[in-house]
Amino acid sequence: MRDAFLVVEGEFPPPARANLRLYRLGLALGKEGIRAHLLTPSSSPRPFMTFSFNGIEVLRFPGLARLLYSRIRIVVRATHIAIGSLYLIKICKKNRRSAIHCWNVVAGLTGVIAGAITRTPVFVDFTDLYSDIARYESPVMAQLLASTG
């Protein structure tokens, strides 16, 4: 069985817009015989945690998701990219992966870094109203992500 890694920038659950989108993708992949793993930061610093949610393996790494839009957002986002990338590289190397699918800037950069190192195809979903918010809130990160395509 092949594995797909779905990366979001906010904590799961609860399913927010991005999380719900990739959660539904994970359910669809499961029906096609592909095991889905959802990589997500925690809302406050806590240890790594793995659990199953309706057949999707949720891989939670230590993060500060509740501060993604605070005054220290650049520090939080950079930390999520660093920790998330290292964790994704580690789990990609342990599994027969077919793809990494990410939603938005922080998750996208995490996936692009891990995909480049593990030679795994990466798909970044950078479409909808929230992407405009991210582009204007994080112009440096958005430009960096755009330059990798």
Tokens of 53: 């949610």
Sheet holding 122-125, edge to edge: 49-53, 56-61, 35-41, 3-7, 97-103, 122-125
Q: What is the pLDDT of residue 17?
A: 66
Rounded distance between C-alpha atoms, residue 149 and residue 136, angstroms: 19
Domain range summary for the chain, segments of one domain joined by +: 3-148
**CB 45 within 8 Å of CB 62:** yes
* Domain covering 3-148 in this structure, CATH number: 3.40.50.2000
Q: What is the pLDDT of residue 103?
A: 83
Q: Would you give per-residue pLDDT tens digits along the chain (149 residues)? A: 789 999 998 888 765 666 788 888 999 999 999 999 999 999 888 889 999 999 999 999 999 988 888 899 889 999 999 999 999 999 999 988 889 999 878 898 999 999 999 999 999 887 654 555 555 656 665 666 566 55
Q: What is the pLDDT of residue 50?
A: 94
Q: What is the pLDDT of residue 47?
A: 87
Q: What is the pLDDT of residue 129?
A: 47
Q: What is the pLDDT of residue 127?
A: 63
